[in-house]
Amino acid sequence: MTQLIIDQALVDKARGSAQNIARQVKQAVDGMTTVTIERASLRLLGIDGVDAQGAPMVNIVVEHLLAQDLLGQGAVTPVVAAMERRGMTAQEVASAVACGALVLTKPDGNREAIKNKALQLAGEACRKISANRRQREEMIQRLGKGSAPQLYLIVATGNIYEDIKQATAAAHQGADIIAVIRTTGQSLLDYVPYGATTEGFGGTYATQENFRLMRRALDAAGEAVGRYIYLTNYCSGLCMPEIAVMGALERLDMMLNDSMYGIIFRDINMRRTFLDQFFSRRVNAYAGIIINTGEDNYLTTADAYEQAHTVLASQLINEQFALMSGLKAERIGLGHAFEINPDSEDGFLWEIAHAQLIRQVFPQAPLKYMPPTKYMTGNIFKGQVQNTLFNAASVMTGQTIHLLGMMTEAIHTPLLQDRYLALENARYVFHTMRHLADEIEFKPTGRIQARANEVLAQTVQMLAEIEQIGLMEAIRRKMFAEISRQPDGGKGVAGVINKNDDYYNPFPDLMQGGASDDTATNSN
């Protein structure tokens, strides 16, 4: 495939700055935990379900520990101590707390014995996740998978059973990856709904039962079409770690799991988001899940030409957070988007420059390439042309995860026939242009080459500035997406808890090694 001439020393300099930025953030939040990290840990211990009023059991236990001023030592040890003292399961402890029959206390026995028991229980949970990972790898080995760019298609009816019908139809029509869009506003709920749901708005609630139902349906569809169908959901918002755990337990394959999207676009507290993304990515790494990041969203509020360097800068920071969490490069699906103003002269050239630069800076990453949305007007004929150019840019620059563009974007939630036309368009372009990139070269003194180098230089400069002022201050100054957020503000700030000296959670260390990457989606 043809390559741009880029200065590797500049790439290395930018990556070094990004690494320092990520380290600064981790150092700033290392002494803290969050309520949802603790709830996620209790889910891994086996606590599930809701009480008679519909409140999730993990929320009840964590709120109880907060009231007892015990959460600073972590939720795991008080629960395990009660299990040992009373001969209960974790679920039974939660039920007793919920009905007022049990008050959790600080462990007063042999703390080392309690830690050993917690480690044993955590190991059992990790073995379940490892079994899911092996099952995925075995199925991909047996069935195979779609070739890159893999076709990523969204379902979003609000009803999981209708989603299953559309997802199954899409798999039969050629989709390789199904993403179940989450209902509007779920990212701001500080709890995870329970059970199968049928009344989401603009999407379907992310619940463990919905994950299980869709996974089962896509496995059946994969067997029928003779290739593994990947399942994606949204591991973001106030319950990011819990959704990561649910996905790991139900064998999801990809998760939208960004480090800054919730801060910038949902005004979630910075420290909470940085803590939650680290834990959730540790879980995703161990489960062999590919993460997708949200830099494509920056271009919905900022100009895609003027702010192209902010996308690359954020990708480099996101990459470092992911590596620190144990994810391998082959599991880091960095996001970018085809959002150039169609009225821009040579806009397609600038898009090729941006997409090719990102492909070369992250050669191992399974990049997630998003279709035009900002400049879709409701003119379906122009929209189909815009999506065709997007498809061409994707295959020409070796993208990996290709989210299908819909000609009815900005009109309504896509119908089955809209999705069929999007699949047909992409398949045609990918087939007829399959080896075009092997047959062309970028002119060394041309516009594409010059534009790529300009974006790289701007990225280096931006990251050097952030390295000096810190990422939280950079976000406050609107350096990403032209949106300002305050370091000490935002939703969920009360859920950030200082760790005590005796804090203990066995899961991050157990999951440190991440997963085997033999069957990552990337095929570049």
**Residues 80 and 114 sit within 8 Å (Cβ to Cβ):** yes
Name the CA radius of gyration of the chain, rounded: 23
Which residues are CB-neighbours of 348 under 8 A, at least 6 positions away?
340, 389, 393
Buried b / exposed e across 246-277, counting CB within 10 Å, b at 16+? Answer: bbbbbbbbbbbbbbbbbbbbbbbbbbbbbbbb
Examine the residue annotation and report whether 106 is marked as an active-site residue of this protein. Answer: no
Prior bond to 107 cis, omega within 30? no
**E-strand stretches of 139-195:** 150-155, 177-180
Q: According to the 3-state scheme, what is the secondary structure of 295-324?
A: HHHHHHHCCCCCCHHHHHHHHHHHHHHHHH
Examine the residue annotation and report whether 296 is marked as an active-site residue of this protein. Answer: yes
Name the active-site residue from 163, 176, 296, 418.
296
**Where do we find the tokens 């009231």?**
67
SS3 state at 337 = strand
Name the active-site residue from 258, 368, 369, 491.
368
Dist. CA 325–CA 78, nearest whole Å:
26
* Longest CA–CA separation in the chain, Å: 76
Dist. CA 25–CA 271, nearest whole Å:
9
Examine the residue annotation and report whether 368 is marked as an active-site residue of this protein. Answer: yes
**Residues 203 and 187 sit within 8 Å (Cβ to Cβ):** no
Residues forming the active site: 261, 296, 368
